[in-house]
Amino acid sequence: MKAANIKKMIFEGEGVTLDFKKTITSCEKIARTMTAFANNKGGKLLIGICDDGSIKGVKSEDEERYMITRAAQMFIKPALEPVFEEVYIDDKVVVVVDIPQSDTKPHYALAEDGKWWVYVRVKDKSVLASKIVVDVLKHSAGTSGILIEYSAKEKALLEYLQERERINVEEYCRLQKLSRRNAQRIIVNMVLSGMIRVHTTEKEEYYTAA
């Protein structure tokens, strides 16, 4: 990758497929970002870049590679295989780490509390995935199609969305007097079938007609 391309990426700023790191200090934290990329569209880590986009470079490429590789193999399951590249920019070394979109989703990251969690990328943040998103990731990775049972419950959800445009799990539970588990199952199937879309933000999750 050319230095000019990296500079262009830095200028455009962090986002769904790009994250800056001055240095890697925690396997848990970087595992979160890497799983979010793998569970989403893939992405790149630029190591040696500050949050404001200034280029600091890395002191030791080997140390950064070691931390990333350790996180990818021991703090993520299934393990990831990042692709590394060193790029010289203004006499400084920037480590570019490519995390491709995975075909074995969902990937889990080991947190400081010793538990494994699924993360997805929302804008420039790695956000904890809801149970619905985890189930969608699990089933979308498979090759088998989803057979939709188009009952009154699915019809009511689509009719509601035609009138109100969006709904969340709690609203759907109240609308159809459903348990949370049943509501989640119906929503997962409808997302997988392409009937509705899931929208995740840092503050909420909601669904709209596809």
Domain ranges of the chain: 3-129, 136-209
- pLDDT value at residue 140: 81
Distance CA 179, CA 188 (A): 14
Contacts 24+ apart (CB under 8 A), 13-17: 13/53, 13/124, 14/51, 14/124, 15/123, 15/124, 16/40, 16/41, 16/43, 16/121, 16/122, 16/123, 16/124, 17/41, 17/42, 17/43, 17/44, 17/121
Distance CA 54, CA 138 (A): 38
For residue 146, pLDDT beyond 70: no
Write down the CATH number for the domain with range 3-129. 3.30.950.30
For residue 144, pLDDT beyond 60: no
Q: Scan for tokens 């459903």, then name that residue.
A: 178
User: Which percentage of the chain shows pLDDT scores above 70?
Assistant: 96
- pLDDT value at residue 193: 85
Confidence grade of residue 147 (pLDDT, cut at 50, 70, 90): low
Q: Report the predicted TM-score, pTM, of the whole model to 2 decimal places.
A: 0.89
Q: Looking at domain 136-209, does it have CATH number 1.10.10.10?
A: yes
Average pLDDT rounded to a whole number, residues 34-41? 96
Q: Beta-carbon neighbour count of residue 6 at 10 Å?
A: 21
Structure tokens at 115: 């538990």
Q: Report CA torsion sign: 8, 11, 12, 15.
A: positive
Confidence grade of residue 17 (pLDDT, cut at 50, 70, 90): very high
Q: Scan for tokens 């793998």, then name that residue.
A: 38
Q: Write the single-letter amino acid at 201.
A: T
9-13, 85-89, 145-149, 163-167 — which is least confidently predicted?
A: 145-149
Buried b (16+ CB within 10 A) or exposed e, 15-49: ebbbbbbeebeebebbbbbbbbbbbbeebbbbbbb
Q: How far is CA 3 from the centre of its chain?
A: 27
Neighbour-count burial of 165, counting CB atoms closer than 10 A to its CB (0-12 exposed, 13-18 middle, 19+ buried):
exposed
Is there a cis peptide before residue 82, judged by omega within 30 degrees of 0? Answer: no
- pLDDT value at residue 1: 81
Confidence grade of residue 145 (pLDDT, cut at 50, 70, 90): low
For residue 21, pLDDT beyond 80: yes
Average pLDDT, the chain: 94
- pLDDT value at residue 151: 87
Average pLDDT rounded to a whole number, residues 147-164? 88
